[in-house]
Structure 1
């Protein structure tokens, strides 16, 4: 049957299709102007089609709650009218603090209809939540009710103190029934969103360049930044993600990433809405629910799931889960957020017969900038640039480096964000790009190379460079060598402070469950295979898990803090100092905090030999 929107979707399953796609300007594709327009279009084209199937939790995986596109539109319109009645105007932010549930999907879309949505990680430190609330200027907060996440309700009074929040709406768990409204000190109004009185339907005009959302970044350098996306950003990127021929409108997607992250919104909410696809949502714990893995393959069979999006650690776990069902519906699985270890790819693909397709993107470019293909992709590449986005590798003066030469990766196109929110004033949001955008090109902070065909190969982060005696070392090169070992499932390489060389590379790795290789053996392995002696790791440590940010990206600062603590303790022990050492992360830097029990002068002498920031603990003996 011919799709009613076939003209919107060109053939796009080969790298060579990119040139033909771009012969039609993006503005001529007929994309909806706003996210609500996209939902209204879906409800008009497929009113009875299932949009969502949401699991209450993994133990009730056979009892999803469903919404058709018509029902989803009705719920979103109601919630938007509630928010408008509560005083949310077009340029007001609605903060959202909740784990995933059916009402959260509806709320995210409703907040973009009435105003601007600002999703916040409910597990984030309360101080960071409060800071994001202040920067967003939100007067209205939609949060998990006590049945959905009792921890969120318990900290609400503290996080809204000193902010502009005065109205709190609560969400129920998927399939949940009515519950008592808790008292929240500091809030003028507290009510369940579904029960709150709604005003007239929202009917004001929204333009495509209006701000749609404020998404916080990973927060690896302290308080997360708040990045503003326009409706144009989100609809353009959603179309780029949806415009692939591997899936069609009958494909079913699985979603389990948290909705405070752009991947969940773009890949598993907005893109499926454009195609009229069905999305099966995991419960509030998502991929963090251990029970999910025991039923995962049966869930795939039951819903005929065609694809999913997850981080490498999820696929590493799934590669160890016996396939106890028919999973032939899986066409390909998407992996991103961090480098995919070869051992994880091999284990998952051989275990399931399903290909893993890498992607690349960042919040400041809305979500995704690069996609992979089943065929025709160079080895080692994370994929080709998406249509209408452009990628270059440049030197420090922003000049292009030759094809295949490593440089800083910069991106341009309709997905480049509007800027970081610095504050909310009476005239609107104060935005700036913190110097990351030059003439429309976004500096991603990543290092890599780009071919003439737009294929990107990543090598590491510019700020993660290790400088050993004035020699620059890309940690990605060492990580690749470690990941080539058949027992290694994850690797992180950072600079450890060193008295003689400034810093030296050290590695941290995770291993297969049955592996017996030692860190010392891996250090020898890597030293024999790196391209230059300076890059040979001084040590490799086996760990149970590598630190990740809240959005699943490698947390290199945490590893640097671990390496710094180990180096200082060893040096102080050698000097006979009885000193306690800890570290903290302060605005992107690792700071050592020390408490000497005896001889502080010797302690200071040892620490001053390292190129680090250090300070005494508040209380000295």
Structure 2
């Protein structure tokens, strides 16, 4: 354990035992900035000429990014904030942000939090979903990807701006766009223009009429499931965001000159807290991927060169990114890369081992959720690493497991006993936006918070040192490569088919994405033969985001029920798991074969028999398969071995 703090803001935080020493000092005595704006001002004063952000145009042109220093970023934020203020944005007014990443987006988001509330929305959502979210947020103006950056998002933004009667719609351009910008079509009753032109000539000093945010003021609304049928808007205060960013930045695993790579979109809390606010607190340079982020295939081809050029020290991504990077030859000097952070969906042993063996770079797993701002746990390197856990609770955060009865009553469980994970502390959100009036939004936790404790919906075990081991999910959310997918949106889409009488969606284990959505349906009598391809295509036309489209739709005579007649997904998950194992074995056993493997899988209560899989000559006798996120390990052996 390290000696007591010498710097209140940055205590020693290298090992699990430091937590007790850190918490011996009250959080209010740590001297944290009051708001995300104060955080920015502090950075500009401490490191005025140090590079703050570099925005890359795309993966192919990674060496032609646009960079700003900390003082230039502050001045950008002031100019944009003055523009927002001139359009009537106040403390409870939202600014909608509908765009992938580009150079001016961080300044626009921080300016929205300075003058009012930022409401970033996934531009891949349907126009109807975007409009619903921004109407609920009370967005007065909208900043969106212009026609060069994302034509679909721009069309959606024009429709939404007109429907919501926004006062202004400002377009963002791609990094490295030519000097001549295309003309923007007008929208009746809405001022339309390019953001970079609208702020030209505005003062770099903040207008005295702008009311500075306080710790308890709302900073942002983040939608909790970008692919859900009815996503909820979770509100964050400035204190929520600053405190969580400080908890993440407080670790000593990075030096003062470390560079962070950012590839997640800014409608994702991880992008805001981990790769924007936390680096601002420590004066670190962030390099931001192009508009497609980690979804740009070319990024992986050039990634190691980017690491070498910018001397990247760490990055934050989902498991699918590391699975892809583990297959890319290391063709550059990546000695600057100290560790990589993984979160948003469960990390499988297979992905961890493949990435670490391929690169020599350790993966540090974290856990969090939007309703707890972002991060709740963190991992350690070296001798303090516990790869079986999702990390130790962050300072001033409390974690426990509970049993929740059918009537909603909570019962605390003894330490170490598995149950539903509950979290309390300064990062727990104030509630969802459920309505609004002239005075501002109405917030309600909708039963997720009880006496300050947030029900995460995840099953876990907590050890005496505060390390959290995730055991599964109490809720039915499907997590595909970090995307939260509500099964209801898939079920609703399929139920719109005239022949479908029942639908249930579950996650099927997948070695690359953790899970992929699949669905089971029943059909009306006399419907005739309707194939999976037809149902998948129908669902794709009625689902807001492509990631939520089911990979397969299985027709059943009836959907399973519990003993008391309620729908049950347990048999469906088992069947999906059986099919995943069959696919894995089929992939390994393709070719001209002569033997068949007969085996079964079980969850401890139910055994599911697999169809025979052809064994090719030369296929190894034992096949080990790890299926996440259920934590199931099986070894299949040929008969007679």
Q: State the aligned residue count.
A: 521
Partner of 2:482: none
Equivalent residue for 1:172? 173
**Shift in Å at residue 379 of structure 1?**
4.9
In the alignment, the residues of structure 2 paired with residue 12 and residue 312 of structure 1 have an alpha-carbon distance, to the nearest angstrom, of: 26
Secondary structure at the aligned position of 1:431 is classed as strand
Q: Deviations over 1:299-343 (max 9, x none)?
A: 101111000000000000000000001111111100011111111
Alpha-carbon spacing, 1:526–1:161, altered in 2? closer, same or farther (3 Å): farther
Q: Secondary structure at the match of 1:395?
A: strand
Alignment of 1:451-470 (within 5 A): 451-464=463-476
Deviation at 1:166, TM superposition (A): 3.1
The aligned counterpart of 2:384 is 376
Note the residue ranges of structure 2 that are not aligned, 5 or more in a row: 1-5, 479-505, 521-557, 563-567, 614-627, 631-641
Counterpart of 2:320?
313
The match for 2:259 among 241, 245, 252 is: 252
Check conservation: 2:8, 2:31, Cα contact below 8 A: no
Equivalent residue in structure 2 for 1:350, among 341, 357, 367: 357
Contact 2:103 2:175 in 1 (8 A): yes
Residue 385 (str. 1) matches residue 393 (str. 2): yes
Partners of 1:275 and 1:515 in 2: CA distance: 47
**1:183-222 aligned within 5 A:** 183-196=185-198, 198=202, 201-203=206-208, 204-222=211-229
Does residue 292 of structure 2 align to residue 285 of structure 1?
A: yes
Other-structure match for 1:604:
none
Contact 1:213–1:230 (CA under 8 A) maintained in structure 2: yes
Alignment of 1:438-449 (within 5 A): 438-449=450-461
Structure-1 residue corresponding to 2:91: 90
Q: How far 1:245 moved relative to its partner?
A: 0.9
**Is structure 2 residue 437 aligned with structure 1 residue 429?**
no
CA drift at 1:154: 2.0
Whether the 8 Å contact between 1:489 and 1:509 is mirrored in structure 2 is no
Structure 2 partner of 1:579: none
* Partner in structure 1 of residue 157 of structure 2: 156
TM-score when scaled to structure 1?
A: 0.78
CA distance in 2, matches of 1:8, 1:458: 30
Q: Quote the residue 1:263 is aligned against.
A: 270
Question: Does the 8 Å CA contact 2:600/2:608 hold for their aligned counterparts?
Answer: no
Are the equivalent residues in 1 in contact too, given 2:301–2:328 (CA < 8 A)?
yes
CA distance in 1, matches of 2:597, 2:232: 37
Q: Hey, what's the Cα distance between the residues in 1 that align with 2:371 and 2:609?
A: 33
Distance 1:480 1:21, change over 3 A: farther
What CA distance in whole angstroms lies between the structure 1 residues aligned with 2:216 and 2:61?
A: 41
Q: What secondary structure does 2:243 align onto?
A: helix
| Aligned counterparts of 2:89 and 2:598: Cα–Cα separation in 1 | 57
Q: How far, CA to CA, are the matches of 2:354 and 2:348 in structure 1? A: 10
C-alpha deviations, 1:368-407, integer Å up to 9, x for none?
0011111324452111100011011001132221222211
Unpaired stretches in structure 1, ≥5 consecutive residues: 467-478, 542-553, 557-621
Residue 130 (structure 1) aligns with: 131
Q: Is the 8 A contact 2:98 2:123 kept in 1?
A: yes
Q: Secondary structure at the match of 1:155?
A: helix
Give the TM-score normalised by the residue count of structure 2. Answer: 0.76
Q: Cα 1:555–1:394, aligned 2, differ >3 Å: closer, same or farther?
A: closer
**Are the equivalent residues in 2 in contact too, given 1:34–1:207 (CA < 8 A)?**
yes
The 5-angstrom pairing of residues 404-423 of structure 1 reads 404-423=416-435
Report if the CA contact (8 A) 1:32-1:38 is conserved. Answer: yes
1:258-316 deviations in Å (ceiling 9; x for gaps): 00111000001000000000011111010011111111001101111000000000000
Match of 2:11 in 1: 10
